[in-house]
Structure 1
Amino acid sequence: MTKYVTGRARLADFGISRQLNMGQTTLYTISAGTKCWKARETLDEDSGIGYKRSTDIQVAGMLMYYIISGGHHPFGKGIHCEMNIFQGKYTLEHVDDEMTRDLIEWMINEEPEKRPTVEDTLAHPYFWAEERRVEYLRKIGNEKEAENCRKSDPRLLHALDQCAEGRSFTNWKSKMPPELMDKLDGKKKAYPDNTLGLLRFIRNLHEHYTEDADSVDMMTMFPDLFGCVYKFAKKMEWNSRSSLKKMFHREDVRY
């Protein structure tokens, strides 16, 4: 990796790189690359290796972790590194951010077909601006589960409570500006002091009280809310719903 004159990072050293022809998805050749920086499917040097775009994705995930963690390899170091790559044994202990971990885990998956494409990678929430993250929370707050936050399924609430335990948004109502709560939290329709209640509150705040919404920085107030909600929605497969799916399209990414 080198630094361009504009100050932006650039990848370098493409000595063994090849450009695939239009419609070509795989290049068969002998194993090549730097020790500990090869994708799992290229480690068998005695067989013809099929290099695909997913091959580069796994190595890019390793490099991403190395840079963000300050020099640590997700598959360890020394003689065990390549064996760990082959067996899919990794650790991301040197990175705390949930979105970073989520993307890297996806990229370094031992199964090539389960890794993201380049477009999937760039559309991942790790690259989303704060404005887009708030938009996502608003959309989640518009889903039926949040709309029915006052009479939610106890099993759903329990699962969310486990996800939210010890987070910054626990008892969120006490952390909001009192005048804002007085305005939105009517006596007959008080918001539950749980995650679904907060998501519905965010939705209504941005939908009906635009000026007040502009004065509240949810991402600063609750820095771990987005990561928790995204991971939970992913687990519940909410992100594949038509109302949310567009958020993850490459053309929607904001730089």
Structure 2
Amino acid sequence: MLACCGAFGPLEVGLRLSSGGGSGGALAVKRLPALLGAQVSRLMVQLLQLRHTNVLQYALCIPNRCASQPEVLLATSLCECNLGELLVLLKADGSLGQRAHGLVRQLLSGLHYLHTLSTPVVHGNLKPSNVLIDDKGVVRLAEFGLHQMLYQTTPPPASSVIWWSCETCVAYEQNRRMSCSTMSDIQVAGMVVHFILTGGNHPFGTEASQIVQNIRRGFNAPATTNCEANDLISWMVLQNPGQRPSVEKVIRHIYFWDTEKKWKFLLTCAGMSPDCKTAPLPLSNFFACLEKQAAYHNTKGDWVSVVRTFLPEIAPSVVSYSNTPVGLLNFMRDCLNSMQNMDIQTTTRLQQFFVAAFPGLSLTLYRFIEKTDWLRHPALAPFVDGTNY
């Protein structure tokens, strides 16, 4: 029975037989013509060995090996739906906000696995229809590692081209061959992350022709409601492949830090340890660096008004602080020092306030120091070296 059409032609539903003779689950099966099947078989030497929660496992079968041009069957587990279909369901029941972050994590977890193998595997065909959801709700990457076989004799549909990197678009136009790399995967992954977080929107536009043109020009406008997510996506979709982050850097981005890690980072930048004692950071030199970076980037803000609005009981004390990131760090440190014996409820309230009221502060501070020697300081290095997965 035909299920749908994939990049290599129609899919059929099959059954995996268990060792006892029963059914071991449904399969999505592709029948590949002899010439294409022979090329795919050579690529499968490595791909058949891959095992990861967020990557679909391939299976290969050649029913009649004695034939002069044997047909090749390529199979994967049959999943419940693809990413685009899932987002429609999540928006309909109002649960997209709860699920989106987890979907992004799983997507990047699968890509991290492929890219960090001893011999890295380039996905090369990443798009919402190749991000599948299994019967347990787990994200599974599909059709990876086969981009060299795509669109050799037939032109690609616009629905595929809008999920190509800038360099893939250029290369295909020049020689009609798919040219993909781990860095092209990163750009497309940034597009898919935006697609998830916005419930189905592409960061490069709304119409196919506009999207392709904007990809080639490097013009994008991330429009999520999270400043950290916008920063990550903007980094991933940069036009120049050499300026994009590796997948290791992607998963260490502040967007994936939990509230506790952000709080510890803010405390450290304010010269305090998690127990609100003095941290081993030379504040005068560190703050001078931050002030210089704030002036260079023309960083604007009005944290004083925020404190006056949401913490009126301590608002009078803010008048002596500069309305800059360093002023806010000084205020935060002095505020906590003045409440050394505060109860856990007050401590928690202050933590939640500073993290929620200034959602871009951790990112701003990190960007200020990321290209300086400060990130190698023992007090700050753990925030760079640690993983968020």
The normalised TM-score by structure 2 is 0.49
Q: Are 1:225 and 2:362 an aligned pair? A: no
1:17-51 per-position Cα deviation (integer Å, ceiling 9, x unaligned): 25xxxxxxxx9777787220011111131335542
Q: Tell me which residue corresponds to 1:24.
A: none
Instruction: Give the counterpart letter for 2:349 in structure 1.
Output: V
Instruction: Give the counterpart letter for 2:255 in structure 1.
Output: Y
Aligned partners of 2:252 and 2:383: how far apart in 1? 8
- The partner residue of 1:216 within 339, 342, 349 is 349
Q: Are 1:140 and 2:269 an aligned pair? A: yes
1:113 positional shift: 1.2
Q: Do 1:75 and 1:85's aligned partners in 2 also have CA atoms closer than 8 Å?
A: yes
Aligned CA distance change for structure 1 residues 30 and 13 (closer, same or farther; 3 Å): closer
- The partner residue of 1:170 within 289, 296, 305 is 305
Q: Do 1:99 and 1:125's aligned partners in 2 also have CA atoms closer than 8 Å?
A: yes
1:93-140 per-position Cα deviation (integer Å, ceiling 9, x unaligned): x31311000000011011111111111011000011000011111122
Aligned partners of 1:174 and 1:147: how far apart in 2? 31
Q: Tell me which residue corresponds to 1:82.
A: 212
Q: Tell me which residue corresponds to 1:36.
A: 162
Q: Tell me which residue corresponds to 2:145.
A: 17
Q: Which runs of 5+ in 2 are unaligned?
A: 1-130, 272-280
Q: Tell me which residue corresponds to 2:383.
A: 247
Paired residue secondary structure (1:120): helix
Q: Do 2:195 and 2:201's aligned partners in 1 also have CA atoms closer than 8 Å?
A: yes
1:219 positional shift: 3.6
Q: Do 1:61 and 1:107's aligned partners in 2 also have CA atoms closer than 8 Å?
A: yes
Paired residue secondary structure (1:246): helix
Instruction: Give the counterpart letter for 2:382 in structure 1.
Output: K
- The partner residue of 2:256 within 108, 118, 127 is 127
Q: Do 1:191 and 1:201's aligned partners in 2 also have CA atoms closer than 8 Å?
A: no
Instruction: Give the counterpart letter for 1:202 in structure 2.
Output: M
Aligned partners of 1:235 and 1:127: how far apart in 2? 19
Instruction: Give the counterpart letter for 1:57 in structure 2.
Output: I
Aligned CA distance change for structure 1 residues 31 and 56 (closer, same or farther; 3 Å): farther
Instruction: Give the counterpart letter for 2:162 in structure 1.
Output: C
Paired residue secondary structure (1:109): coil
Q: Do 1:61 and 1:108's aligned partners in 2 also have CA atoms closer than 8 Å?
A: yes
Q: Are 1:103 and 2:214 an aligned pair? A: no
Q: Do 2:132 and 2:142's aligned partners in 1 also have CA atoms closer than 8 Å?
A: no
Number of residue equivalences: 232
Instruction: Give the counterpart letter for 2:245 in structure 1.
Output: P
The normalised TM-score by structure 1 is 0.71
User: Percent of counterpart pairs with the same letter?
Assistant: 22
- Show structure 1 runs of 4+ deviating over 6 A: 27-33, 146-149, 151-161
Aligned partners of 1:210 and 1:114: how far apart in 2? 47
- The partner residue of 2:332 within 202, 218, 238 is 202
1:131-177 per-position Cα deviation (integer Å, ceiling 9, x unaligned): 0011111122126567887x999877767995213x5x535267447
User: What are the equivalent positions in structure 2 for 1:180-191 lying under 5 Å apart?
Assistant: none
Instruction: Give the counterpart letter for 2:168 in structure 1.
Output: T
Q: Do 2:293 and 2:368's aligned partners in 1 also have CA atoms closer than 8 Å?
A: no
Aligned partners of 1:153 and 1:132: how far apart in 2? 20
Q: When you count strand as a share of all residues, which structure comes out higher?
A: 2
Q: Do 1:62 and 1:74's aligned partners in 2 also have CA atoms closer than 8 Å?
A: yes
Paired residue secondary structure (2:367): helix
Aligned partners of 1:121 and 1:177: how far apart in 2? 38
Q: Do 1:31 and 1:42's aligned partners in 2 also have CA atoms closer than 8 Å?
A: no
1:231 positional shift: 2.4
RMSD: 3.9
Q: Do 2:162 and 2:211's aligned partners in 1 also have CA atoms closer than 8 Å?
A: yes
Deviates more, 1:135-144 or 1:228-237: 228-237
Task: Pick the structure with greater CA Rg.
Answer: 2
1:83 positional shift: 1.6
Instruction: Give the counterpart letter for 1:117 in structure 2.
Output: S
Aligned CA distance change for structure 1 residues 239 and 210 (closer, same or farther; 3 Å): farther
Instruction: Give the counterpart letter for 1:91 in structure 2.
Output: A
1:254 positional shift: 3.7
Q: Which runs of 5+ in 1 are unaligned?
A: 19-26
